[in-house]
Every structure is written in structure tokens, then in C-alpha cells.
Amino acid sequence: MDSRGCGTNPAGPLGGPGAFHRSASQFEYWKHTHLTVDVVKGRDSGFSVEAPEGVRFIIRSRLFSDDEWRDLEGQ
């Protein structure tokens, strides 16, 4: 992950075309957290990109372990 303080920071690849970005302030707030963006069947009130496809996004999160955090800090 990139913490250069740019307007947006890539949060990682998605399993299809496109990318998932967040603002520098969001990165700073969530930098200790592993985020997983899943797509599941069903409808929800959310992103407009979901509605026509009959799917919705679910974001799962967990804190990085101490070992994972040390590895990230070393990059």
C-alpha cells in the first residue's frame, strides 16, 4: 500500500477490471487494517454500480497482526 499522501491511494487489486482507491485521510485512518471487498448476490442500498447487476459489496476488515504490521513497515 502507498502512503505517499497523494490524493488517492490504491488499496489493492480487485478480482476484475478496475481498482479500489481511497483518499489519503482514509488511508491514514485505516492503515492498520486489512480490508477485503467481496461481491455477493443480492440487493442493498449502496453504490449505484451494484444495482443493475443484482449484486452488492461487502467490506470485511481485521487488524493486521504484529508480524504483518512489521512486514508492512519494512517496505
Does 58 or 44 have the greater pLDDT score? 58
Does 66 or 73 have the greater pLDDT score? 66
- 24 and 11 belong to one structural domain: yes
- 27 and 58 belong to one structural domain: no
pTM: 0.58
What are the tens digits of pLDDT across the range 7-54? 555 555 555 556 677 788 988 898 899 888 887 887 766 555 656 777
- Main-chain phi, psi angles of 67, to 5 degrees: -65, -45
Range of the domain at 52: 34-75
- Provide the pLDDT for residue 6: 46
- 22 and 52 belong to one structural domain: no
Does 40 or 64 have the greater pLDDT score? 64
SS3 state of residue 17: coil
Number of domains in the chain: 2
- Provide the pLDDT for residue 52: 73
- 38 and 65 belong to one structural domain: yes
- 44 and 60 belong to one structural domain: yes
- 15 and 2 belong to one structural domain: yes
